[in-house]
Each structure stands twice: as C-alpha cells, then as structure tokens.
C-alpha cells in the first residue's frame, strides 16, 4: 500500500449496480473524503484497461458479491504490481467474485493463500491488527461485522489485519 497520509486519489468501484442496497461504495467515499483524500465512484468497466492507473493511488473493489472476469482480475494484479494500493472486498462464500479475485491476485504474487471456511453470525467486535492498527485513520476494532470467510497464508508480505476469535478474515499485502 502507498503511505496512508495523503491526499491520495482513490477510485471506488461501484457496488450498487447489482443491488441498490449494497451501498459500500458510498460508505467508502464518505470515509475517504472525511480523511481528506479525493475519491470517485467508477463503473467496473474501467477494469477493462490500465488507463486509470496514472490518476489513481488506491483502488477499492467495494462489492464482494459481483463476478469479476479473469481479464479484470489481471488488471487488478497489474495495478498492484505497478506499486499501487488495492482493496478487494471479500464475502462469506469463497466462490463470490471478490474472494475469487483476492485469492487469484494473492496466488499470482506468489502467496500460498487459501480460503479456509465461513465464520457465521454477527461478528462483533472484530479486531484490527497488523499494519493498519494504530494508524490515526483506523479504528482498533470494527463494532459491526456480518459473516466472513476466513483464510490463511504464510507467504512473505501477507499480513492478517482482521481477526475474529483467532480466525483471520482480512489481509494486507506489502511486497517484501
């Protein structure tokens, strides 16, 4: 990830086009703007090329349920390989688009990442650990979290940053 101080230019991929109640994109934009960064919500079609790379520091795929075509996953990988920050929302089922994309990007970067199982129910609170804990713009815990898919990786550069009862449900990657 690039340094979290900014201002950064953040592109958030639309989450509401499949389901208007999936408003994660708006939540991300509100948080990003409140932290003093510049954000925009974009259609998933921007992933069909690398044209957006130059004007983007961080890319957020805000919906974990949408299918992400293999060519768009390749664009996500190229974005990370170019030194940019990427967040991919995952969900509680390993066969959802965000989970598939995250595992694919992680494995392409040489990780032995695998999804290991569902964590069900209201997962509150969820601890924020690792490289994101203690940052001025990050909370120490998430007061509300609903279902998740746990995963694991022992690869260098991968760090779990969300934990619920000893199960890792969020990951960051910083190239070694």
Is a pLDDT exceeding 80 seen at residue 65?
yes
- For the residues of 40-97, what is the DSSP string, one character each? EEE-GGGGGSSTTGGG-SEEEE--SSS---HHHHHHHHHHHHTT-EEEE---SSTTSH
Predicted confidence at residue 63, as pLDDT, reads: 94
Predicted confidence at residue 72, as pLDDT, reads: 98
Least confident of 1-5, 36-40, 48-52: 1-5
121-148 confidence digits (pLDDT tens): 888 888 888 766 666 666 677 777 889 9
Residues 97, 65 contacting (CB under 8 angstroms): yes
Rounded-to-integer distance, Cα 25 and Cα 33, Å: 12
Between residues 159 and 176, the one the model is more confident about: 159
Among 14, 114, 112, residue whose Cα is nearest residue 59: 14
Q: How many other CB atoms are there within 10 angstroms of residue 117's CB atom?
A: 12
Rounded-to-integer distance, Cα 140 and Cα 125, Å: 10
State the pTM of this model. 0.90
- Give the chain's mean pLDDT: 88
Is a pLDDT exceeding 90 seen at residue 50?
yes
Q: How many other CB atoms are there within 10 angstroms of residue 78's CB atom?
A: 14
Exposed/middle/buried for residue 62 (C-beta within 10 Å: 0-12, 13-18, 19+):
buried
pLDDT band at 36 (very low <50, low <70, confident <90, very high): confident
């Amino acid at each position: 990830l690039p340094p979290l101080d900014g201002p950064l230019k953040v592109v958030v991929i639309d989450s509401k086009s499949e389901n208007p109640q999936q408003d994660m994109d708006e939540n991300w934009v509100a948080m990003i703007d409140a932290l003093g960064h510049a954000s925009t919500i974009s259609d998933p079609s921007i992933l069909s090329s690398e044209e957006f790379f130059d004007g983007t520091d961080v890319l957020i795929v805000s919906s974990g349920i949408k299918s992400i075509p293999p060519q768009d996953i390749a664009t996500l990988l190229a974005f990370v390989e170019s030194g940019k920050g990427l967040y991919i929302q995952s969900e509680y089922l390993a066969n959802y688009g965000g989970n598939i994309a995250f595992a694919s990007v992680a494995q392409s970067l040489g990780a032995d990442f695998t999804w290991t199982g569902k964590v069900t129910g209201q997962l509150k609170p969820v601890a924020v650990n690792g490289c994101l804990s203690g940052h001025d713009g990050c909370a120490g815990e998430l007061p509300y979290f609903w279902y998740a898919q746990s995963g694991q990786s022992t690869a260098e550069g991968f760090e779990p940053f969300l934990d619920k009862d000893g199960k890792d449900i969020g990951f960051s990657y910083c190239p070694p």
